[in-house]
Each structure stands twice: as structure tokens, then as C-alpha cells.
Amino acid sequence: MKPDEQGLYICCVKTGFRPYDVGVTAALLIAKRYLRDQLMVHSNGLDPQWLDARRVCQRVLGYGDWFGIVEEKITQDWPGQEGVIVRRLIETQPPEM
């Protein structure tokens, strides 16, 4: 994988609701927890479709409930894509450290 012109690495994972979907979404949740702003996770799925991964992470790791999918309208940074709605995984509650 090579970075784009902005130095960003972009990768796409399509699970199609297969049995490994929960494992993939949980792994993305864990990565987002530790990489924070260094990792941007976009999703075609709505917030309820991340519920199983959040429950697994909450039960095992204690922080799955801190995350949610939010919808945003892109207004800049993606040439030719103004006005597009994207769903992004965010941390909704800051961790206590």
C-alpha cells in the first residue's frame, strides 16, 4: 500500500455482513481507540450495525460504549465530493486516564 498525494494511507474493507463482520469492526474499534486522530474510520453501515462490536469491546476491554457512528456532510478536503454524506466512527466519551 502506498500513501496518496497527501501522505495518507487509504484502505477499504467490505465485510458484507459475513460472519467475520464483528471481528473486523471490533478490530477497527480497538485501532481507533489507540490511534485516535491518526486513524479515520468511515463506514457504509449505520450505528446499530456496529452494536455487536461495541458490546464485545465493552465486555472484554471496557470501552466499546464510548464509540458511535456519526453522519457528516463533506464540504471540503475531498475534491469533487462536496455535499456527500459520510459516516465516521468517533469516540463519543473521552477515556479516563
Q: What is the pLDDT of residue 52?
A: 93
10 Å CB burial of residue 55 (0-12, 13-18, 19+) is middle
Supply the pLDDT for residue 13: 80
Write out residues in the chain with pLDDT < 70, as ranges.
1-9, 74-84, 93-97
pLDDT for 53 equals 92
Q: Model-level pTM?
A: 0.74
What is residue 68's predicted lDDT score, i.e. its pLDDT? 85
pLDDT of residue 19: 86
Question: What is the Cα–Cα distance from 69 to 80, expressed in whole angstroms?
Answer: 24
Q: What is the pLDDT of residue 30?
A: 94
